[in-house]
Chains A and B, each alone.
Chain A
């Protein structure tokens, strides 16, 4: 078990170098001159442009740039963006926002999604089942920005249940509405996965055996059927946690939350390589870690799975 964990952690090292280089190359390949773009319509003297390009190593060949970046990174220096702000400061402020948002969405997904899925799975083919399936289909079909703006106008502006935008009210108040909007898509998938998986397993032989032994309904469902049914759900929840961390660009924009997704979006537009690489590298590490935790959870849920 521990050897397995160590092996997985060691695998993360080449992945880390590979992804950073790949992202660096991709940002580097974007067209345009970020320094000129900073100035917009106003004139900038050549010597100023040159000074800035030198400062950010933009005159070096790609591999030299990457090497310099990694060398600085090894000393714990994430570099600066093109307006001279330290990348580590930029990102740390944004990670707190994103982590709060992602966790809110994720908890919402997990709790409500599994509850709905169990409810529908136990009543397969009846009204509750149809309601959950229909409702989740609708949510999956609606684009997130429509959902976001509609929720903002209805719950924020019209009924004033939640703040419309921003982080002024702090956690959880400011994060509830965006969290629900962000998590609604994942919630739909979780509910449907749970429902299908559970209703399949309820017909399995071991459930019939458990029923025949005279165990209570709650014990049969909770202890036997549900545990096995949750394996695909846990897999999805793990992957989705990474998505919530990095892919909340639209939701963060609508609710004016200065999170990591917004930053990556803006930095790609501005060709700020160091910022993009810094942010995405952390995301990659989160993905690797979450995947490991998910794999280990399989063993907890299903004793037949063992890691040696």
Chain B
């Protein structure tokens, strides 16, 4: 009868764009829109559209489409409040004296959807399963903070791991879990909000294949039937749920779309109730048609331009700053993104605690004259400037072209070449450091902490640029040791300043989320974090 669904972020890999031309043509035919009928029988459930998830085992995915479903099936120890702070969910408390040894108290009396009690062991089992290298779980690296991870993931790829469990996990009672980390980490409660840290019932760990088709969680919703691949995933409110986020509706169905334009058409037709991402070509029309049912939100997803600092030609920070200053962020935003995105003024997007307005200052402002001075001071640039980006979305080529024009007009770099790499090849290329020029880099917050951005993308241990800065690393480590969040944020900001002054990677803009809802539902909140749509709050007419 009715259909329902919603969507979040990163359409790139799966959604094909055959639509732009067709859209233009049909629009020019003067087709008027109609409001769409009321979505079907009101049985208290609603539908959201998104892309097909890749996995439903929490630790085996880093895809936001999977998170859409997983965050509703599972209660992690911690969740995020509206301001991006970590608050207890399945936990009674998460505390530490030294930021290295953490004591987790699990709230008593919780049950999985199959009746199995949720204990400290449920979390330990799930995390051990996720951290064990040979299980090849996608989110494996998110457990590297916990002591014993190295023994389970040996450096030598062909060696057998020395341990099958994390030595840093100690179940000290049915409700008590002691977690020892490799190093002090003040952001640990935020990390615990990441979907991969969900608990697993014993039944699930015994048979992951069956669990994938019918996940058994401890969250406010349970599966209604199995995962209908490429069609839909039906969730219904779990009557035995005793946690703090009881569903205000009877259920939610996530419908899969392979084409973003079609999802939007179905939203207009009232066949789905929520869509988290409207394709950017349709946004102006959607604003007009949906009125107050158009849902705009800030996001954490940010685009960057990274430099291969290991290449001598890019070793001079002045050259990198000059390139940053000839990028007309606001101009590109208007030309490519309808002016909806947010030009970057810092390395950290505005929705992350610890963001400072204008931290980047003049280095992120369009100023061709100053840029030229810096460029000349750095000794200019010889040879071919190659710009790398993947073919996942057509907008990448659009803004890369604008940047190339600016490099030519303002800095006199005439020999600019585009290197549009197939998406399946792009990340391996960066991994192997085969790129010979600036490349597009993108980051979406796993959890709202500056550390998630700075350490993962600029930390010397594992950054793609080959940029090494001891002072930066020390400041991050110091912030990670600091219990007081305000002090920690100040230290992250100091590290951020170093990365800005050296500019091994230029911040470009932060994405805007543009969704919509049908007349059938109200109280639709889409958070900018990995929790996404707050399905439990949605009320159905």
Contacts and interface: CB of A to CB of B under 8 A. Distances in A.
Interface in A67-93: 83-85, 89-90, 93
Interface in B17-52: 18-19, 21-23, 25-26, 29, 31-34, 36-37
B486 interface: no
Contacts, number: 183
A32 B424 contact: yes
B140 A44 contact: yes
Highest count of chain B CB atoms <10 Å: which of A30, A37, A41, A84 = A41
A98 interface: no
Nearest to B143: A45
B425 A38 contact: no
B194 to A, nearest CB: 11
B18 A85 contact: no
A6 interface: no
Contact of A94 (B1, B230, B255): B230
B493 interface: no
A262 B258 contact: yes
Interface in A47-77: 47-48, 50-52, 55
Given A43-B462, A85-B229, A266-B14, A31 B34 contact: no
Contact of A149 (B22, B441, B456): B22
A157 B133 contact: no
B517 interface: no
A255 B265 CA distance: 10
A52 B21 CA distance: 39
Given A165-B265, A166-B3, A253-B258, A149 B19 contact: yes
A52 B60 CA distance: 12
Contact of B424 (A37, A145, A150, A166): A37
Highest count of chain B CB atoms <10 Å: which of A90, A145, A164, A250 = A164
Given A156-B269, A164-B269, A253-B259, A46 B157 contact: yes
Given A51-B133, A254-B262, A41 B427 contact: yes
B297 to A, nearest CB: 21
A48 B139 CA distance: 10
Nearest to B423: A37
A49 to B, nearest CB: 8
B262 A146 contact: no
Contacts of A192: none
Given A37-B428, A39-B62, A157-B269, A45 B138 contact: no
Contacts of B54: 38, 83
B205 to A, nearest CB: 16
B230 A93 contact: yes
B134 interface: yes
Interface string B444-471: 1010000000001000001000000000
A241 to B, nearest CB: 23
Given A148-B22, A152-B262, A153-B31, A269 B424 contact: yes
A304 interface: no
Interface string B257-290: 1110111011011010000000000000000000
Contacts of A42: 62, 138, 141, 446
A165 B133 CA distance: 41
A45 B259 contact: no
B441 A41 contact: yes
B213 to A, nearest CB: 10
Interface in A258-295: 258, 262, 265-266, 269-271
A100 B365 CA distance: 56
A43 B141 CA distance: 7
Interface in B157-205: 157-158
A166 B261 contact: no
B377 interface: no
A52 B136 CA distance: 6
A40 B19 CA distance: 24
Interface in B126-164: 133-138, 140-141, 144, 153-155, 157-158
A36 interface: yes
Contact of A158 (B32, B55, B140, B443): B32
Contacts of B268: 157
Given A32-B424, A256-B266, A266-B14, 5 more contacts: A32-B428, A33-B424, A145-B18, A165-B257, A256-B259
Interface of B: 1, 3, 10, 13-14, 16, 18-19, 21-23, 25-26, 29, 31-34, 36-37, 54-55, 62-63, 133-138, 140-141, 144, 153-155, 157-158, 209, 212, 229-231, 255-259, 261-263, 265-266, 268-269, 271, 422-428, 431, 441-444, 446, 456, 462
28 contacts: A30-B422, A33-B424, A38-B54, A41-B441, A42-B62, A42-B141, A44-B140, A45-B144, A46-B155, A48-B133, A51-B133, A84-B209, A146-B21, A146-B22, A146-B25, A149-B22, A149-B23, A153-B31, A165-B257, A165-B266, A166-B271, A168-B3, A253-B18, A253-B258, A254-B261, A256-B257, A256-B266, A270-B424
7 A-B pairs closest in CB distance: A32-B425, A32-B424, A258-B230, A33-B428, A50-B157, A37-B424, A149-B22
Interface of A: 30-34, 36-48, 50-52, 55, 83-85, 89-90, 93-94, 145-146, 148-150, 152-154, 156-158, 160, 163-168, 250, 252-256, 258, 262, 265-266, 269-271
